C-alpha cells in the first residue's frame, strides 16, 4: 500500500500551518525553519511522530509511512552538500528560474563551459589533421 493521499480538508489544514511550504494531495513540503526545529529535537532524542504532532502535523493525517519518510528526508538534507532548504531539491531548482542564481548553478555552468571548450579543441585538432593530411 502506498502513501496516504490527503483529502481537501487535510490539505487545507496543512496549508494553514506556518511550517508548511506547500502541499499537494500526495506530498507535503516543509519550510527550512521547520526542518531546523525538527532536526534539533530529533538530535535530542525526540521521536519523529511527537515532533510532528508538537508542530501541528497529526500522525493520523500524515500516516506512518510518511512520518518515517519525513525523518529520513530531513536527515538526508541535513547531511547533503546543500543542507536544509525550503521545499525539496526539485522545488529549489525550479525556484532558480526566477533570476536567482545559486552557487550550484554557477558551478554546473562552469563545468559545462569547461567540457565544451575541451570538445572544441578536440574538433579543431581533428579538423587540422584531416586538412593537413596527418
pLDDT, one tens digit per residue, over 21-51 is 999 999 999 999 999 999 999 999 999 999 9
State pTM to two decimals: 0.64
- How confident is the model over 6-21, as pLDDT tens digits? 999 999 999 999 999 9
> Is the pLDDT reported for residue 94 higher than 50?
no
Lookup result for grid cell 508542530: 55
Alpha helices in the chain (DSSP H): 8-15, 32-43, 48-54, 59-62, 64-79, 89-95, 103-132
Please answer whether residues 71 and 48 qualify as being in contact, where contact means their C-beta atoms are separated by less than 8 angstroms. yes
Question: In the block, which residue shows the cell 481537501?
Answer: 8
110-131, pLDDT tens digit by residue?
888 888 888 888 888 888 887 7
Amino acid at each position: 500500500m502506498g502513501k496516504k493521499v490527503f483529502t481537501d480538508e487535510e490539505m487545507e489544514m496543512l496549508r494553514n500551518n506556518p511550517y508548511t511550504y506547500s502541499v499537494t494531495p500526495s506530498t507535503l513540503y516543509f519550510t527550512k525553519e521547520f526542518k531546523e526545529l525538527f532536526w534539533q529535537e530529533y538530535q535530542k532524542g525526540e521521536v519523529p511522530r511527537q515532533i510532528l504532532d508538537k508542530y501541528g502535523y497529526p500522525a493520523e493525517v500524515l500516516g506512518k509511512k510518511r512520518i518515517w519518510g519525513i525523518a529520513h528526508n530531513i536527515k538526508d538534507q541535513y547531511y547533503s552538500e546543500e543542507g536544509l532548504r525550503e521545499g525539496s531539491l526539485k522545488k529549489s531548482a525550479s525556484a532558480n528560474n526566477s533570476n536567482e542564481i545559486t552557487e550550484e548553478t554557477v558551478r554546473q555552468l562552469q563545468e559545462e563551459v569547461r567540457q565544451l571548450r575541451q570538445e572544441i579543441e578536440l574538433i579543431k585538432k581533428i579538423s587540422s589533421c584531416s586538412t593537413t593530411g596527418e
